[in-house]
Amino acid sequence: MKTGAYQKVVLIFLLVVCCGTGYWSYRYLARLNAEIQETFNGKKWDLPAIVYARPLEIFPSMRLDPDLLEKELQLADYRKETPVAAAGGYSRVKDNFQIFTRGFSFASGFEESVVMFVSIDGGVVSRIRSGVSGEELDFVRLDPARIGSFHPQVHEDRLVLESIHIPKLLRLGLIAVEDRAFTSHYGVSPVAIGRALVANLKAGKMVQGGSTLTQQLVKNLFLDHRRTLKRKINEALMALLLDYHYAKDEIMAAYINEVFLGQDGARAIHGFGLASQFYFRKDLHDLSVGQLATLIGMVKGATYYNPRRHPARCIGRRDVVLRVLRDEHIISEFIYSAAVAEPLGGDVKQKNGFNRFPAYLDLVRFQLQSEYQRDDLQTRGLRILTNLDPQVQWQIEDSFEDTLTRLEAKRGPTGVEGAVVITKRETGEVVGLLGGRGGNASSFNRALDASRPIGSLIKPAVFLTGLAEGYTLSSPLLDSSVGLDKDGGGWSPENYDKKEHGVVPFYIALVRSYNLATVRLGLDVGLEKVIETVTRLGFPRQIPAYPSLLLGAVEMSPLEVSQIYQTIASGGFYLPLRAIQSVTTQDGELVTRYGLEIEQRFSPALMELLVHVLSRVVTEGTARGYPFDREKFYAGKTGTSDGLRDSWFAGFSNEYSGVVWLGRDDNRPTPFTGSSGALRVWGSIMESIGGNSSALQSSSAGLVWVTVDVQKNNGTAAEGFGLTRLPYLRGTEPQQLLRTRDSGLQAIGNKAKDLIKSINRLFN
Amino acid sequence: MAPVYEPGQGVAYPKPTAPKMTVEPPTISRDRWLGPAAPLYRKAKILLEKKAYRQAELSMERALRIEPKNGYYWYTLAEIKHAERQYSRSIQLCLKSKSLAGGDLNLIRLNEQLMAKSR
């Protein structure tokens, strides 16, 4: 081949290579460009839904423990300071508080921040005054504590700040410390790279980075952290493209929201907005110069300069930043001197409420999952306002642990686990929930997921069916052995004390939890009717119609039991148990509200009869062993499953309804009956959460109260329940002396009725 | 004292004392029904007049969290639902209000009237 021809071929080859490379480079850059624009124009970050506790409402005459108020303020990331300088601050002198709330978007709209003085006297709010005008306030609502969030797999968390909300000092500080040529370079700074190269060569190791803020942002948003040439080239190309397409302000805002600034357990703290809350409990705008410099310093190494773990190191780094700010004339000498003299500041050792109540969060997630996709909860930044009352929750946790520890001190370790559900009696709001021992550390949430036989907790449903079928509280029931034929499975129930008590009044059979009388009553009214009652009370699943269900051989979770007792406690009105008040977008727009849904399923008067009997379970029945304050109202039922495998108590006070379960995860026997175990925990919780001002309940107009001598009236055999006062549905009070379907007793009743009639005729 | 019947006699006569723990419950006093949540109740009434139903409802739900046994508050919520033409819900709330009325004939009458309008 001639030389000229050879050169031609080489030239063509080179041309082809160049064109190919150019085309490939063009395609490659176009792909990077598309990736940048897609991410940067759209949603840059997955924002987890944020879950809040219920907002605390404060009003004069309200019962409020000042220590719990302070604890709740700290849970809500309020900082203690004197004087109270900005939103999110409070001070306390004895039981007088000054509180500067933060604005918050409720379902009803945005509520502005307010300053107020709250005085508490003897555990009661005596006065609330405006901190601005001094006028008396009759109602205030605090912004709620953030108690958790629903993260995607990557546990990143951030509070996204708009560009206009970023403090100027932060921008200037970041530029001065991290990237002095930020405003003039094109995304990459050859000068900075050269300077870093020289410094690193001199030191013989990596002492300085040459990346601009734009490159750091690109690395965090688009690339991994591998130190490869390809990654470095991509970083530089994407930084150039980013700088070409977007204003410096936008890049700076993205950087400020993206940068990693620490770790809170499994949650990564991203962005200055969240870091400010996390480390100092303040909005970014409220940080001092020293605190802002601390955060800027942490960009170099959030773990290495962590103010909680390495305060001395962190202060050193902060002072370097402050020197740079002074030298660059961003702050004055005076401000510099004041800032370096500052302590680190913030209640850095306090723990906030982040994912502090995982069992309750399970319930929130459970109730949301039917309406929201997982993606909605993990990426859209929704705000979920719940009904969790932190003050009740703490009382539950403390009472539960204390009581079980006390019980085990007598018996030794029992391996017993437990669950608690507490709701508001009239509104069905779940205000506290415990899924197990040890502060909900286990992933197994027994309140929701442990399905266990409920024992005698079923009995109120049996007796309610009896009342609906015409029994009265003084109707005689026969408590004697009942042998069931083959269809009944050859089942021979017994009483707990192995005795038979003969004819007993209806209410006594429930108060003393007599199994035999209950089974006879249940068989008399019919299993299907009992099952229907349980369903109407709120149990959602099917129950097989075996006679053993009359003694609670049906499995339920504590939450399901709670729903059933809620219907009893609220006077026959079914209210779906609610963990959530509302869901709003991050801009405060209402997405869903979970208002009061109510449906009457039983006559309130009928239910009042049952409630009366359940109150006597506490005063004179199976729960009388607990030293309740007799001036207050409590009602409920003990439950124990076969072989002491489950210890239950379900009931209510004036204000709260609650269920406690104790048992072992391996289903082995426990040392506890319902009375010696769960009742102790329930009583302790109910007494500690209070809200129970009177022993008296309002009475339905459909009832009449009659003093009766039950023993004489009914010819009952058992001792100790003669004269008593009982409510009756109007018209069912004991005109007719015996009300039973037992044929023998019915005959006695008919005879007595005839006798009354004949005596009446004599007098008339 | 309510009558007591003895078997075989059919004649009522009073017994001297009733056991302590089975006292009849009281009825709601008509002149004391506005409690600590009264400001929220008043706000709800104003919002109802302005036909701002959702806001009124939210205000009443707040009031009910504080005074859940106040039959008048349940009634007001029923009024709001009625105004929103959610009649079946209004009736349910009336039933709840009525269940808390005790001997308050005024509240019972109000609820019965509203239920009649909602049917």
B33 near B41, Cβ under 8 Å?
Answer: no
What is the pLDDT, as a whole number, of residue A490?
A: 77
B10 and A756 in contact by Cβ < 8 A? Answer: yes
pLDDT tops 80 at residue A210: no
Round to whole Å and give the CA distance between A189 and A185: 6
A90 near A80, Cβ under 8 Å?
Answer: yes
pLDDT tops 50 at residue A736: no
Q: State in words which class domain B35-118 has.
A: mainly alpha
Round to whole Å and give the CA distance between A699 and A500: 35
Query: What 8-state DSSP symbol labels residue A496?
Result: T
B92 and A599 in contact by Cβ < 8 A? Answer: yes
Going from N- to C-terminal start, the domains of chain A cover 1-42, 49-145, 156-341
pLDDT band at A764 (very low <50, low <70, confident <90, very high): very low
Tokens of A210: 């040459």
CA nearest to A389, candidates A417, A430, A350: A430
Among B13, B15, B21, B59, which would you mutate to test the A interface (most chain A Cβ atoms within 10 Å of its Cβ)? B21
What is the least distance, in Å, from the CA of B50 to any CA of chain A? 15
Round to whole Å and give the CA distance between A300 and A278: 18
B36 and A707 in contact by Cβ < 8 A? Answer: no
What is the pLDDT, as a whole number, of residue A394?
A: 95
Round to whole Å and give the CA distance between B41 and A672: 47
What is the least distance, in Å, from the CA of A358 to any CA of chain B? 24
Beta bridge partners of A727: A705
| Chain centroid to CA A354 | 11
A692 near A633, Cβ under 8 Å?
Answer: yes
B58 and A760 in contact by Cβ < 8 A? Answer: no
pLDDT tops 70 at residue B74: yes
Residues of B in contact with A612 (CB under 8 A): 22
Among the ranges given (A216-230, A489-503, A568-582), the one the predictor scored with the smallest mean pLDDT: A216-230
pLDDT band at A573 (very low <50, low <70, confident <90, very high): very high
CA nearest to A754 within chain B: B8
What is the pLDDT, as a whole number, of residue A698?
A: 59
B5 and A725 in contact by Cβ < 8 A? Answer: no
Among the ranges given (A154-163, A263-272, A524-533, A674-683), the one the predictor scored with the smallest mean pLDDT: A154-163
What is the pLDDT, as a whole number, of residue A446?
A: 95
Given CATH 3.30.2060.10, say whether it is the number of domain A49-145.
yes
Among the ranges given (A273-282, A606-615, A617-626), the one the predictor scored with the smallest mean pLDDT: A273-282
More confident residue, A449 or A354: A449
Among the ranges given (A45-49, A97-101, A352-356, A392-396), the one the predictor scored with the smallest mean pLDDT: A352-356
Residues of A in contact with B69 (CB under 8 A): 426, 654, 698
More confident residue, A738 or A358: A358
CA nearest to A749 within chain B: B7
Taking the Cβ of residue B16 and every Cβ of chain A, the question of whether any pair is shorter than 8 Å is answered with: no
Over residues A314-323, mean pLDDT: 94
What is the least distance, in Å, from the CA of A458 to any CA of chain B? 24
| Chain centroid to CA A163 | 33
Which positions of A are annotated as active-site residues?
178, 456
Residues of B in contact with A712 (CB under 8 A): 6-7
Residue pairs between chains A and B whose CB atoms are closer than 8 Å: 146
What is the pLDDT, as a whole number, of residue A646?
A: 95
CATH topology of domain A156-341: Penicillin binding protein transpeptidase fold (1.10.3810)
Round to whole Å and give the CA distance between A309 and A349: 10
What is the pLDDT, as a whole number, of residue A188?
A: 86
B68 and A424 in contact by Cβ < 8 A? Answer: yes
Q: Which of B19, B24, B92 sits opposite A598 (nearest CB)?
A: B92
A472 near A728, Cβ under 8 Å?
Answer: yes
Element of type H or E holding A510: helix A506-511
- Report percent pLDDT > 90 for chain A: 55
What is the pLDDT, as a whole number, of residue A238?
A: 86
What is the pLDDT, as a whole number, of residue B10?
A: 31
What is the pLDDT, as a whole number, of residue A712?
A: 63
pLDDT band at A708 (very low <50, low <70, confident <90, very high): confident
More confident residue, A63 or A161: A63
What is the pLDDT, as a whole number, of residue A713?
A: 56
Tokens of A253: 């805002």
B19 and A724 in contact by Cβ < 8 A? Answer: yes
Q: How far is CA A738 from CA A101, A358, A743, B15, in A?
A: 64, 53, 11, 21
Environment class of residue A332 by beta-carbon count within 10 Å: exposed (0-12), middle (13-18) or buried (19+)? exposed
Q: Complex ipTM, two decimals?
A: 0.78
Over residues A188-210, mean pLDDT: 76
Round to whole Å and give the CA distance between A55 and A57: 6
Residues of A in contact with B68 (CB under 8 A): 424-427, 655
A708 and B18 in contact by Cβ < 8 A? Answer: no
Tokens of A126: 């005596």
Round to whole Å and give the CA distance between A669 and A448: 21
Give CA angle at A8 (A6, A10), nearest 5°: 70
